[in-house]
Amino acid sequence: MAKRNNLLIELLKDNYFHKFIIDTDEKCTSFWSRWEREDKERTAIIQEAKQILLGFEFDERSIEEKKKSQIWEKVVDSIGQVEEKSEINARTKIKYLPIAGVAASLVLLIVSLFVFLNKQSSDTTPVNSPAAKITKLAPIGKISTFKLIDGSVVRLFSGSKIVFDKEFGVSNRDIFLEGEAYFDVNKEGEIPFIVNTKKLRTHSIGTSFNVRALHSTGVYDVSLVSGKVSVELNQANSNEQTTTFLSPGEEARLVGSGIRKQNFDLNERVAWVDGYIYLNDKTFDESIEILQRWFGVEFEVLNNIRDPSITGRGKFKNQSLENILHVLSYSFDFKYTVGDKIEIEFNNYAYE
């Protein structure tokens, strides 16, 4: 019994097992299937671990998506920035939490989830209710791909999420986005595909486009790759229903209280979809903002760059954060220290 309990605890602490349950892929499934076949007693242990992590109601049906997303968010928050296997290997070698601390936090997480899920069981929206919501998340440091029931494909940038109801593809195709996503929309009858953000609403039938809704930096835009879309101000933000129609190569950007239409660089805007970190012609501040979004790390700048208009160059794929910083340090002439946060100090700095 002790051996069995120890193995169960190890599974609950294993973030690759979390991936197997919540956001799996073929390689991950194959690994755990082989592991299970090695010992017939492992099947029952895996099922028990699933029940704990998925809210004590795992069966042949999919767990209610809202609850699943809440669990996943708590798991991601608990494991912090510990290295994890990534679909695009967008990862850093930095360990932000001691392993012992992670284990302890996960044990506390399991207990808190038990209390949380049982407390919420009486007022959680039923799975079959039209009002039930589904949430899809991209954990920090990873790009996630989802195929929706209507055949449309969504690529979610690190730290982003989409929310839609269970009637999606039947009575509506409405999605709410926080963060950044690339949509390859399948034409499905006459039901419009609508992407809502806090500031903008995009209508489409069958197109490919990128949407950014970055509340922390105030960036809201829609960049059209193919097809045709209309973009309008969200009614919650404006009494005027200003609508802008886009052709491929054009984007609509929120500027002040209105929408500005302009051209955009396709290679730059959607490079992330193929796993590239695009830093060509970016200032230091722009580069740091992009790296923060990719890796979920905190930067502290100890002094000021002499010329803030200087730009760097770089297009990276499957590179660690340290490798990228090493390249950027030549462009901006700084030294860096890696720890719980990244400290930047310019060699040729401007006095305040």
Enter the tokens of residue 181.
């996503």
Looking at the structure, do residues 242 and 305 belong to the same domain, yes or no? no
Looking at the structure, do residues 251 and 316 belong to the same domain, yes or no? no
At 226 the pLDDT is 94
Enter the tokens of residue 203.
């209508």
At 103 the pLDDT is 45
Instruction: Tell whether 126 is covered by a domain.
Output: no
Looking at the structure, do residues 264 and 137 belong to the same domain, yes or no? yes
Looking at the structure, do residues 180 and 80 belong to the same domain, yes or no? no
Give the CATH number of the domain where residue 138 resides.
Answer: 2.60.120.1440
Distance (Å, whole) CA 184 – CA 153: 5
Distance (Å, whole) CA 33 – CA 43: 10
Which one of 120, 155, 176 terminates a domain? Answer: 120
Q: What angle do CA 232, 236, 237 make, to 5 degrees?
A: 70
Helix (H, G, I), strand (E, B) or coil at 190: coil
At 125 the pLDDT is 38
Looking at the structure, do residues 115 and 153 belong to the same domain, yes or no? no
Whether 46 and 11 have beta carbons less than 8 Å apart is answered as yes
Query: Which residues are CB-neighbours of 263 under 8 A, at least 6 positions away?
Result: 249, 250, 251
Give the CATH number of the domain where residue 310 resides.
Answer: 3.55.50.30
Looking at the structure, do residues 259 and 279 belong to the same domain, yes or no? no
Domains in the chain: how many in total? Answer: 3
For each of the chain's 352 residues, which pLDDT tens digit applies? 666 777 777 777 777 777 776 655 677 777 778 888 877 788 888 887 776 765 443 333 344 444 445 555 555 454 443 334 333 333 333 333 333 444 444 444 544 444 344 444 333 334 344 458 899 999 888 899 999 999 999 999 999 999 999 889 888 999 999 999 999 998 877 789 999 999 999 999 779 999 999 988 889 999 999 999 999 998 655 555 578 999 999 999 999 888 999 999 998 899 999 999 999 999 999 999 999 999 988 999 998 887 888 898 889 998 999 999 999 998 899 999 988 889 999 987 655 5
Between strands 200-204 and 208-214, the pairing is unpaired
Whether 296 and 262 have beta carbons less than 8 Å apart is answered as no
Query: Which residues are CB-neighbours of 307 under 8 A, at least 6 positions away?
Result: 350
Between strands 342-346 and 299-301, the pairing is parallel
Instruction: Tell whether 73 is covered by a domain.
Output: yes
Looking at the structure, do residues 232 and 314 belong to the same domain, yes or no? no
137: Cα within 13 Å, side-chain hemisphere: 21
Tokens 């950027």 belong to which residue? 328
Helix (H, G, I), strand (E, B) or coil at 45: helix
Instruction: Tell whether 66 is covered by a domain.
Output: yes
Instruction: Tell whether 125 is covered by a domain.
Output: no
Looking at the structure, do residues 279 and 263 belong to the same domain, yes or no? no
Instruction: Tell whether 128 is covered by a domain.
Output: no
Residue 27 phi/psi, 5-degree rounding, is -65, -45
Looking at the structure, do residues 66 and 25 belong to the same domain, yes or no? yes
Which one of 221, 245, 268 terminates a domain? Answer: 268
Report DSSP letters for 120-171, one per residue: HTTTSPPTTSTT-EEEEE--TT--EEEE-TTS-EEEE-TT-EEEEETTBTTT
Enter the tokens of residue 231.
């973009």
Instruction: Tell whether 327 is covered by a domain.
Output: yes
Looking at the structure, do residues 142 and 232 belong to the same domain, yes or no? yes
CA 76 vs CA 17, 18, 289, 343: distances in Å:
13, 10, 21, 24
Instruction: Tell whether 100 is covered by a domain.
Output: yes
Looking at the structure, do residues 107 and 143 belong to the same domain, yes or no? no
Looking at the structure, do residues 170 and 235 belong to the same domain, yes or no? yes
Which one of 243, 268, 293 terminates a domain? Answer: 268
Instruction: Tell whether 49 is covered by a domain.
Output: yes
- Domain of residue 345: give its range: 275-350
Helices 15-22 + 42-53 axis angle, to 10: 80
